[in-house]
Amino acid sequence: MSKKILITGCAGFIGSHLFKLLEASNDVIGIDNFNNYYDSKLKKDRIKLLKGIKNIFQIDLNERDELESLIKKNKINVVIHLAAQAGVRYSLENPSSYIKNNINGTFNLLDILKDTSIDHLLLASSSSVYGFNETKIFSEKVNSDFPASLYSASKKSTEVIAHSYSHNYSIPITVFRFFTVYGPWGRPDMALYKFTDSIIKDKPINIYNEGKMWRDFTYIDDLTESIMRLINLSPNKTPNIADDNISKIAPYRILNIGNEKAIELDQFIKILEKVIGKKAIKNYLPMQNGDVPYTFASSELLEKLTGFKPNTDLEFGIKKFFDWYLNYYKI
């Protein structure tokens, strides 16, 4: 059955892909503040490809009256909350942006939804909440109380605030923690985009922690497919599942969305060099504040619930990004 879906952050990397996927069989509305964290032209170009561009509005989550009016006027069934100030390293430079956009913006949304009959809120979090974790594979039950950056702390804060609203107002909430998403139309501040750009332009790439970094790279189509399948699986309607982490006091669940493969950064760069057909100029640096050396998702619970888990081969995904990059910049 078609649903009335609101996507926050719809001009972002993930939001624009998800909007395109869902608009074929749902009534989708999007909001974005089109801020200048990176070139807003990229955001505007993303939404030009969407059939429902007329249903996209420039609204900031801190513009509470406008946000509330949009939600209630359109009788939204499902909210997919992706809007956030991204970036681990940027949180060291502009910490107030993370409090305003991630914590206060999410609070505004939750406080509006408590007075609606929402079917399901899907809330984006991040693998960064696991911080410096000694466990080598991160299940949803692994401790996430010690985030290493203000970005990850802000995402953990939104998880906890959302649980309180789910408990007190019976809002069905699924939190998904995604792991290093990449693909066409990706963010310019992410490693794949920055490395590709630098290699093509014969500029050195900065490799932190002397290359001793591992990441679980998740292709964008795998992430959006996972989110789409979760829409109808609100925590107040799904059956009991072994090793579920559903809250004992609220219709609230946390899920990882990751590829279940930890790739060392040097291996990632070798694959990128192969795809581009050119060697990188490497500048090895110490670990930066806020970064963590290792992420590795367990997506078992996602698979149990949806019958699906990310599986895209990294070289295939990088090739898709590189083809997009060449086409977008007309190289």
| Tokens linked to 158 | 């939104």
Bridge-based pairing state of the strands 27-32 and 4-8: parallel
Count how many residues are written for the chain: 331
Which three-class secondary structure state does DSSP give residue 94?
A: coil
Q: What is the distance, to the nearest Å, from the Cα of residue 47 to the centroid of all Cα atoms in its chain?
A: 17
Which three-class secondary structure state does DSSP give residue 281?
A: strand
The β-bridge partners of 254 are 175
Annotated catalytic, 151? yes
What value does the CA radius of gyration of the chain take, rounded to a whole number of Å? 19
For 224-313, strand residue ranges (E) read 252-257, 263-264, 281-284
* Region of residue 131 (left: phi > 0; alpha: psi -120 to 50; beta: else): left
The CA distance from 213 to 288, in Å, is: 11
User: Which one of 38, 90, 130, 151 is the catalytic residue?
Assistant: 151
Q: Which long-range contacts (CB under 8 A, 24 or more apart) does 299-303 make?
A: 299/256, 299/257, 299/258, 299/259, 299/260, 300/139, 300/243, 301/139, 301/140, 301/241, 301/243, 301/244, 301/245, 301/255, 301/256, 302/226, 302/255, 302/256, 302/257
Instruction: Calculate the alpha carbon distances from 291 to 91, 187, 272, 302, 307 in Å.
Output: 11, 18, 22, 26, 32
**Residue type at position 279:** K
The catalytic residues are 151
